[in-house]
């Protein structure tokens, strides 16, 4: 096998690892369907619902009771998120809420829940 082939294989392996690391679920994050997400939120008084989209996206419609803490600001606003509450996360596609969960997990948060399918899967009313 020549050097060019080895380099090509290494690049492909690194690319696949990168893609997998972005789409794999975060350990400690529970992904729930929209119905499960809503039922679990309603049955849990000790919770915080966070929309991790940017403010412009948030203004187009959000789940009632959600606090907007954009992923881009999350690291600087960790103090606003209590560690003794279940944290419910959502975004537009699911990628940002998974990334937010990774940040929260690294900072000692537990009880993280993510809306599988994100806002597009939500069948409830949105506030504006």
CATH number, domain at 117?
A: 3.40.250.10
What pLDDT score was predicted for residue 24?
63
User: Comparing C-alpha atoms, which of 67, 65, 74 is closest to residue 99?
Assistant: 74
Residue 18: inside a domain: no
Residue 120: inside a domain: yes
Quote the domain boundaries for residue 105: 26-127
Helix (H, G, I), strand (E, B) or coil at 128: coil
Residue 21: inside a domain: no
What pLDDT score was predicted for residue 5?
87
What pLDDT score was predicted for residue 18?
79
Residue 68: inside a domain: yes
* CA angle, 68 then 71 then 57, to 5°: 50
Residue 56: inside a domain: yes
Residue 83: inside a domain: yes
**pLDDT 10s digit of each residue in the chain, 128 long?**
788 888 888 889 998 887 776 666 667 789 999 999 999 988 888 899 999 999 999 999 999 999 999 999 999 999 999 999 999 999 998 889 999 999 999 999 998 999 998 898 998 889 98
Residue 95: inside a domain: yes
How many domains does the structure of the chain reveal? 1
């Amino acid at each position: 096998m020549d050097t060019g082939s080895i380099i090509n294989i290494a690049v492909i392996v690194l690319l696949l690892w990168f893609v997998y690391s972005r789409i794999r679920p975060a350990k400690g994050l529970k992904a729930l369907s929209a119905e499960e997400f809503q039922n679990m939120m309603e049955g849990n008084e000790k919770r915080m619902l966070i929309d991790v989209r940017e403010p412009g996206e948030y203004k187009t419609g959000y789940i009632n009771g959600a606090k907007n803490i954009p992923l881009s600001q999350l690291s600087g606003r960790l103090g606003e998120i209590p560690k003794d509450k279940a944290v419910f996360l959502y975004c537009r596609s699911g990628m940002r809420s998974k990334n937010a969960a990774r940040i929260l997990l690294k900072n000692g948060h537990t009880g993280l829940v993510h809306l599988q399918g994100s806002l597009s899967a939500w069948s409830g009313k949105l506030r504006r």
